[in-house]
């Protein structure tokens, strides 16, 4: 009640202010007229937090958006304010979205509307918005241009919601640049690939110089019937997967996108080369692995995905990787799943010192280092999502698997996207670009060379423009039970209640993109995720009897309890 009364009083003051502005204040009246003229004859259409004098190409006659800033805390008040918005002469509310607390503000007339691009100052928008905010003094409003936006590339694959890693790595923005080119080949050196999978078959790198199943080495490359790849474990031209691991890795790289089935790979336009070096049980010899790497490089793979390893170094595998380097291939290797520091307990070939190797750790859905993942401040380069990853599997099926084996093809796929965006890039360029394109995370600091998890959009943008995007600040610290604080409050709206709070570290800095859970006596558990301000919320039906609820996170931090009636 107190908030609503305050809003009503504020609106009365707006009316008085507007009256005097139009009747008795020449200076203000002049400012209003100038501001309206700016809107009618040329409004800068660019979003910005701090207005500068830089010039931008815009369209004339576009609109403004006015929104109620405190919509989280007082939605009913926001709707009332927007529906009774005060505007200077010459402007009108074209449309209102009460549930979103948003008003679309347009000029009364469209005189001089011209779709041709013009150059105007950003300060024009600032002046108009300042006038609107002054007319509605005392109410928390935001004002800015109604910016033209464009569709961010997505796909119609029905299982897209299972792939949290795509969102984490900004894949959808990266796809606006490239989804991968079929001319770029990624070799899956693994347990083989179930190549008849309907989500993979379109992206296979077919050897057109070879006639399948005729028992002849048609292209004289030393491998008989390597039409779809080669099986070094069994010594034939049929690299079919009998384990599922390689098929899963292949789908992470390039499960076909926009085909209306299953999921989608990070680089769903590139070509896949199946190379089987491990058997049904997941094991294989150094000689088979080395032969598979050599074959992949000879076939022209730009990137080799190697989700395998062991405790003992192998000179034959290192030699094969070195040979791949001379042919320009980047080799992406899993760091291992023993939860150990590779700086102290090495894993090979992740710890190989050949310069075209990238060692990959795994992160979880909360962007923390996965509990199983190996790490190493000087030996493990970067991370990618690797826990509960959804991808293709045997017999045209799909499965969730976890491991640095799953993180590795994500990085291989992003490298392939970079090569697709700029074919001139060398393996050294790809490696450097991947290093520059991570999102630095507090939980990875001191554990990885880069201290970050790969960002596909940054990598694709860097490859296509030669210019890195601005680095992402290190996320707020807070790993242990005492390093984060949770607040919780309850507000009642009729039969519903909203419980909300903030997740912050011990220095009161917001902790973003972390899961928070709600626990009540008789209400099913709920989960929310903190936003960039650390804010989270739960909407529930009010219980018949009063009960206590509290919020907690996965590291044992807990809020004070609140009573919900």
Distance CA 42, CA 453 (A): 42
What DSSP letter does each residue of 272-287 carry, written as one string?
Answer: EEEEE-S-TTS---HH
**Quick one: tokens of 293?**
């790497």
Sheet strands side by side (includes 526-529): 526-529, 515-520, 547-553, 562-564
Q: How far is CA 222 from the centre of its chain?
A: 43
User: Is 110 strand, coil or helix?
Assistant: coil
* Known catalytic residue at 190: yes
* Known catalytic residue at 397: no
User: Is 116 strand, coil or helix?
Assistant: coil
Compute φ and ψ for 133, nearest 5 degrees.
-65, -35
| Angle between helix 123-135 and helix 2-23 axes, rounded to 10 deg | 110
> CB under 8 Å to 7, separation ≥6 — which residues?
77, 80, 81, 139
Distance CA 509, CA 430 (A): 34
Given the residues 190, 238, 286, 364, the one annotated as active site: 190
Measured on CA atoms in the order 290, 292, 295, 296, is the torsion positive or negative?
negative
DSSP code at position 375: B
Paired sense of beta strands 397-401 and 438-440, if any? unpaired
Nearest to 172 by CA among 457, 515, 564: 457
> CB under 8 Å to 470, separation ≥6 — which residues?
none
* Known catalytic residue at 457: no
Given the residues 302, 314, 352, 405, the one annotated as active site: 405
**Quick one: tokens of 97?**
């979205």
- The helix or strand, by DSSP H or E, that contains position 289, with its residue range, turns out to be helix 286-298
Given the residues 124, 170, 245, 439, the one annotated as active site: 245
Cβ neighbours of 510 (radius 10 Å): 18
**Quick one: tokens of 132?**
């609107």
| CB-based contact 167:213 (threshold 8 Å) | no
| CB-based contact 235:257 (threshold 8 Å) | no
> CB under 8 Å to 488, separation ≥6 — which residues?
499, 500, 501, 549, 550, 551, 559, 560, 561, 562
Active-site residues: which are they?
190, 245, 405
């Amino acid at each position: 009640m107190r908030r609503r009364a305050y809003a009503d009083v504020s609106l009365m003051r707006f009316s008085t202010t507007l009256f005097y502005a139009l009747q008795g204040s020449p200076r203000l009246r002049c400012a209003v007229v100038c501001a309206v003229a700016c809107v009618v004859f040329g409004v800068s259409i660019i979003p910005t937090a701090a207005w500068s004098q830089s010039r931008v190409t815009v369209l004339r006659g576009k609109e403004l958006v006015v929104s109620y800033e405190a919509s989280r805390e007082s939605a009913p008040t926001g709707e009332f304010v927007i529906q009774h918005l005060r505007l200077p002469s010459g402007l009108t509310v074209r449309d209102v979205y009460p549930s979103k607390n948003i008003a679309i503000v347009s000029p009364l007339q469209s005189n001089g509307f011209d779709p041709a691009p013009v150059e105007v100052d950003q300060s024009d928008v600032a002046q108009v918005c300042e006038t609107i905010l002054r007319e509605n003094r005392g109410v928390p409003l935001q004002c800015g241009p109604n910016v033209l936006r464009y569709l961010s590339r997505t796909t119609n694959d029905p299982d897209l919601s299972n792939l949290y890693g795509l969102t984490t790595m900004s894949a959808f923005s990266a796809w606006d640049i490239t989804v991968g080119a079929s001319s770029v080949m990624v070799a899956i050196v693994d347990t083989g690939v179930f190549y008849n999978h309907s989500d993979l078959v379109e992206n296979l790198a077919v050897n057109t110089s070879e006639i399948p199943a005729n028992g002849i080495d048609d292209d004289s490359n030393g491998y008989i019937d390597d039409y779809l790849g080669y099986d070094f474990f069994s010594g034939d031209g049929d690299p079919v997967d009998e384990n599922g691991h390689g098929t899963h890795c292949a789908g992470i790289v390039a499960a076909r996108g926009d085909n209306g089935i299953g999921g989608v790979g990070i680089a769903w336009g590139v070509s896949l080369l199946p190379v089987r070096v491990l058997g049904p049980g997941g094991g294989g010899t150094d000689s088979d692995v080395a032969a598979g790497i050599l074959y992949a490089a000879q076939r022209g793979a730009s990137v080799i995905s190697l989700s395998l390893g062991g405790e003992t170094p192998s000179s034959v595998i290192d030699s094969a990787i070195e040979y791949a380097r001379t042919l320009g291939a980047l080799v992406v290797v899993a760091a291992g799943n023993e939860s150990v520091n590779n700086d102290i307990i090495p894993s090979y070939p992740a710890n190989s010192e050949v310069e075209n190797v990238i060692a990959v750790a795994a992160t979880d859905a909360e962007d923390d280092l996965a509990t199983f993942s190996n790490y190493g401040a000087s030996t493990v380069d970067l991370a990618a999502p690797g826990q509960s990853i959804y991808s293709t599997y045997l017999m045209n099926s799909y499965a969730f698997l976890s491991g640095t084996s799953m993180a590795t093809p994500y990085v291989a796929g992003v490298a392939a996207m970079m090569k697709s965006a700029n074919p001139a890039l060398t393996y050294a360029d790809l490696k450097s670009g991947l290093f520059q394109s991570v999102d630095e995370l507090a939980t990875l600091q001191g554990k990885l060379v880069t201290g970050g998890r790969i960002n596909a959009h940054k990598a694709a943008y860097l490859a296509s423009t030669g210019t890195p995007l601005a680095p992402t600040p290190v996320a707020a610290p807070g790993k242990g039970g005492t390093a984060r604080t949770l607040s919780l409050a309850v507000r009642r709206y009729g039969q519903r209640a909203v419980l909300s709070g903030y997740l912050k570290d011990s220095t009161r800095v917001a902790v973003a993109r972390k899961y928070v859970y709600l626990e009540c006596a008789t209400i099913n558990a709920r989960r929310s995720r903190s936003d960039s301000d650390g804010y989270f919320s739960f909407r529930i039906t009010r219980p018949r009897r009063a009960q206590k609820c509290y919020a907690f996170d996965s590291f044992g931090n807990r809020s004070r309890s609140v009573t919900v009636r």
